[in-house]
Amino acid sequence: RKDLSIFGDFGIKGKGYRVADLSEKLSGILGLDKEIPIVLVGVGNLGAALCRYNRYQQTATKIVGLFDGHPSKIGQVHGAYEVRPMEELVGFVRQQDIKMAIIAVPVAAAQSVCDILVAAGIRAILNFAPVLLNVPDGVRVQNSDVTAELQALAYYL
């Protein structure tokens, strides 16, 4: 196919592609062949559920650090990781060279958490707080609003 030829020569002319080889090469092109470490900020009900969900995923993204500002959450263990205090977030992100984060905090804390993450070097954020975050150029935010998704589905009922 011409659309894949932009990335190189994958197939055998007139024969097509070997699916396993193509999948492996495309994973490399998309950066899915290497582990992408992620920090999660906010280990309440949603954050804890995300920890449990992420543990069993066979994807390149792995939650490697958990952080929360509430004293009762510090020290809790979710999966293989212990919840750390927010004061350790910047150092952890920089030391581990982490570029992606998940925000699962209340609306009131979301922007300040975002600002801390960006200052630490985070360049991609999955935001579960129902608020639009202000970020500088070069930082990508993907908002996930379950309520909005349900309302969109309700249209079809």
pLDDT tens string 2-29 = 565 556 665 565 566 677 776 677 766 6
Q: Please write the tens of the pLDDT for every residue from 108-141.
A: 999 999 999 999 999 999 999 999 999 999 999 9
What is the pLDDT, as a whole number, of residue 147? 87
Q: Please give the C-alpha separations between residue 121 and each of 9, 12, 125, 136, 157, in angstroms, as whole numbers.
A: 36, 43, 11, 12, 43
Q: Angle CA(137)–CA(139)–CA(143) in degrees, nearest 5?
A: 120
d(CA 7, CA 41): 36
Pairing mode of beta strands 81-85, 77-78: antiparallel
> Which amino acid would we find at residue 41?
V
Q: Both tokens of residue 147?
A: 């309520």
Whole-model pTM: value is: 0.80
Instruction: Return the number of other C-beta atoms located less than 10 Å from residue 4's C-beta.
Output: 15
As a CATH number, domain 36-154 is: 3.40.50.720
